């Protein structure tokens, strides 16, 4: 039964990708990246590759975002999955290496994926077009249920001296890579000894809190860390220059060499800022303004998001906003970078995006929690003739509004938006997003919304067919 339902959903999603013009849009985006003088054979191959990228990444999200290595094995070992992606040929199943699947996941940029999500939303929200997706009726887009959460980044808890350790060890690993290729500059003890010194200092810093006079000891250890980091930075710069001038003598391609050079340059640029932050907080005892804080050596665009939840006062990541219909179809989303606006501003921006959709339905009601309720929001919704069902902050006003059956029902339904966020994040590999960089996280969210909506439509169509079969 489970396999039959999964196969039925895949068949419906495959049909909707083809009949819903998503494959056509994917080919247009793929061909737009080719030079004007590209021949017919090159253009044909790019069109096939574009469709594969669309289907392969949608399927990976439907399967719960397995690693590319695991996904490669799953795709190569299943005719059903290979047929969905269109990679099964007479010679066998092709395009299933983990590196190929990784490139496919990054083929479309976040803006292109947003256009695909918008197209699917417009198809589902119109009477004339919803039939192409197999839906017996259009998706109700008159009520917008909105919520915001934190998409946690894959980072450890930010600690100043741990940040220094991360920067130092990243530079040492890059030095080891360069030296392994035969480009060696004088470095007494080598990167291994420097890494050992850094680890010993980290152990001393960890245990300094349990000793008498721990504050002075922490300052002493930090000063030792700073001296060691200066030394590591100098060696990294020398090895970086060696690689820049002699990469052709290594086994690397120019792109591989540039990756290592960019990694070293990025950490060398970050090093003075990380040292200054640690000095201000540990030695100076002064607070660092939140916009200037460095939370991770590897993720610069994450933010501190105060949640106030039991067991987790704050979270580290990016603010994720979604707007869904009463049935659970996600019409709008946004992943914000550092310095995200207030929830009220997010709601305003979302309404502007959704009102630009080519849908023969107008937004009649907006539902959100207390964070969305402001006087400016209420005035703007009233001016737009939209019912304001955001939860009031005043308990007395909330008690009065709860006498209205429509408001009461809307607030009751709003609780399920939390579940929609959980479906979007947990089915996409967990609440911690493992994509590196804000652009890649936005891409991952866009893929997650697209695959969720395709699955949502397929499930609705299958349930309607099962209901009809039982009635017959």
Asked if residue 294 lies in contact with residue 274, where contact means CB atoms within 8 angstroms, the answer is yes
Mapping DSSP onto H, E and C, the string for 359-428 reads CCCCCCEEECCHHHCCHHHHHHHHHCCCEECCCCCCHHHHHHHCCCHHHHHHHHHHHHHHHHHHHHHHCC
DSSP run (H or E) holding 308: strand 303-309
Asked if residue 82 lies in contact with residue 76, where contact means CB atoms within 8 angstroms, the answer is yes
In a 10 Å sphere around its CB, with 0-12 CB exposed, 13-18 middle and 19+ buried, how is residue 33 labelled? exposed
CA–CA separation, 224 and 218 (whole Å)? 10
Computed on alpha carbons and rounded to an integer, the radius of gyration of the chain in Å comes to 27
Q: β-strand 143-153 against 312-324: which pairing, if any?
A: antiparallel
Asked if residue 435 lies in contact with residue 427, where contact means CB atoms within 8 angstroms, the answer is no
Asked if residue 194 lies in contact with residue 230, where contact means CB atoms within 8 angstroms, the answer is no
Q: How many residues appear in the chain?
A: 472
CA–CA separation, 160 and 70 (whole Å)? 36
Q: What pLDDT score does 306 carry?
A: 84
Q: What pLDDT score does 106 carry?
A: 95
Q: What pLDDT score does 418 carry?
A: 86
Q: What pLDDT score does 419 carry?
A: 87
Q: What is the pTM of this model?
A: 0.92
Q: What DSSP state is assigned to residue 372?
A: G
Query: What is the residue-level pLDDT of the chain in tens, covering all 472 positions?
Result: 789 999 999 999 999 999 999 999 999 999 998 998 999 999 999 999 999 999 999 999 999 889 999 999 999 999 999 999 999 988 889 889 999 999 999 999 999 999 999 999 999 999 889 999 999 899 999 999 999 999 988 888 889 999 999 999 999 999 999 999 999 999 999 999 999 999 999 999 999 887 788 889 999 999 999 999 999 999 999 999 999 999 999 999 999 999 999 999 999 999 999 999 999 999 998 988 888 889 999 998 999 888 777 777 888 999 999 999 999 999 999 999 998 999 999 999 999 999 999 998 999 999 999 999 999 999 999 999 999 999 999 999 999 999 999 999 999 999 889 889 888 877 654 556 788 899 999 999 999 999 999 999 999 999 999 998 888 7
Angle at 450 (CA atoms; ends 347, 145), nearest 5 degrees: 30
DSSP run (H or E) holding 371: none
**CA distances (Å), origin 163, targets 170, 226, 300:** 11, 12, 12
Q: What pLDDT score does 432 carry?
A: 61
Asked if residue 455 lies in contact with residue 13, where contact means CB atoms within 8 angstroms, the answer is yes
Which residues 6+ apart lie within 8 Å of 397 measured at CB?
none
CA–CA separation, 191 and 197 (whole Å)? 10
CA–CA separation, 180 and 193 (whole Å)? 16
Asked if residue 453 lies in contact with residue 327, where contact means CB atoms within 8 angstroms, the answer is no
DSSP run (H or E) holding 366: strand 365-367
Computed from CA positions of residues 207, 210, 211, 215, in that sequence, does the dihedral angle turn out positive or negative? positive
Asked if residue 71 lies in contact with residue 97, where contact means CB atoms within 8 angstroms, the answer is no
Q: How many CA atoms lie within 13 A of 228 on its CB side?
A: 25
Asked if residue 367 lies in contact with residue 133, where contact means CB atoms within 8 angstroms, the answer is no
**CA distances (Å), origin 349, targets 24, 146, 269, 354, 403:** 29, 12, 35, 9, 30
CA–CA separation, 194 and 291 (whole Å)? 32
DSSP run (H or E) holding 31: helix 22-32
Helix residue spans in 159-189 (DSSP H): 160-180
């Amino acid at each position: 039964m489970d396999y039959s339902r999964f196969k039925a959903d895949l068949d419906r999603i495959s049909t909707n990708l083809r009949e819903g013009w998503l494959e056509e849009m994917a080919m247009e985006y793929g061909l737009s990246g080719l030079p004007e003088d590209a021949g017919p054979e090159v253009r044909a191959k790019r069109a096939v590759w574009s469709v594969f990228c669309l289907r392969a990444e949608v399927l990976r999200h439907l399967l719960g975002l397995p690693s590319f290595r695991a996904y490669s094995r799953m795709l190569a070992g299943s005719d059903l999955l290979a047929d969905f992606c269109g990679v099964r040929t007479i010679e066998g199943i092709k395009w299933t290496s983990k590196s190929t699947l990784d490139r496919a996941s990054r083929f479309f940029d976040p803006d292109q994926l947003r256009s695909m999500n918008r197209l699917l939303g417009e198809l589902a929200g119109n009477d004339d077009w919803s039939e192409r997706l197999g839906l017996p009726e259009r998706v109700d887009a008159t009520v917008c249920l909105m919520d915001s959460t934190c998409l946690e980044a894959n980072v450890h808890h930010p600690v100043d001296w741990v940040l220094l350790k991360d920067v130092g060890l990243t530079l040492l690993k890059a030095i080891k890579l360069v030296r392994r290729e035969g480009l060696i500059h004088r470095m007494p003890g080598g990167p291994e000894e420097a890494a050992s010194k850094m680890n010993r200092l980290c152990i001393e810093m960890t245990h300094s809190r349990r000793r008498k006079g721990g504050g002075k000891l922490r300052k002493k250890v930090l000063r030792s860390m700073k001296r060691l980091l200066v030394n590591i930075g100098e060696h990294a710069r020398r090895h970086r220059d060696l690689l820049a001038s002699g990469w052709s003598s290594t086994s690397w391609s120019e792109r591989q060499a540039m990756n290592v050079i960019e990694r070293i340059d990025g950490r060398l640029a970050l090093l003075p800022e990380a040292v200054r932050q640690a000095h201000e907080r540990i030695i100076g005892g002064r607070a660092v303004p939140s916009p200037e804080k460095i939370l991770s050596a590897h993720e610069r665009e994450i933010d501190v998001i105060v949640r106030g939840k039991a067991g987790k006062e704050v979270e580290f990541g990016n603010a994720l906003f979604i707007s869904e219909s009463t049935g659970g179809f996600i019409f709008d989303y946004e992943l914000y970078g550092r310095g995200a606006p207030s929830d009220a501003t997010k709601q305003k921006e979302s309404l502007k995006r959704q009102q630009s959709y080519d849908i023969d339905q107008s937004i009649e009601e907006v539902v959100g929690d207390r964070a969305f309720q402001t006087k400016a929001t209420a005035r703007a919704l009233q001016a737009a003739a939209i019912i304001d069902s955001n939860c009031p902050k005043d308990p007395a006003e909330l008690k009065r509004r709860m006498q209205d059956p429509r408001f009461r029902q809307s607030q009751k339904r709003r609780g399920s938006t939390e579940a929609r966020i959980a479906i979007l994040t947990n089915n996409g590999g967990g609440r911690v997003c493992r994509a590196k960089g804000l652009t890649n996280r936005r891409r991952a969210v866009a893929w997650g919304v697209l695959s969720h909506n395709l699955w949502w439509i397929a499930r609705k169509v299958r349930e309607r067919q099962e209901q009809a079969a039982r009635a017959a």
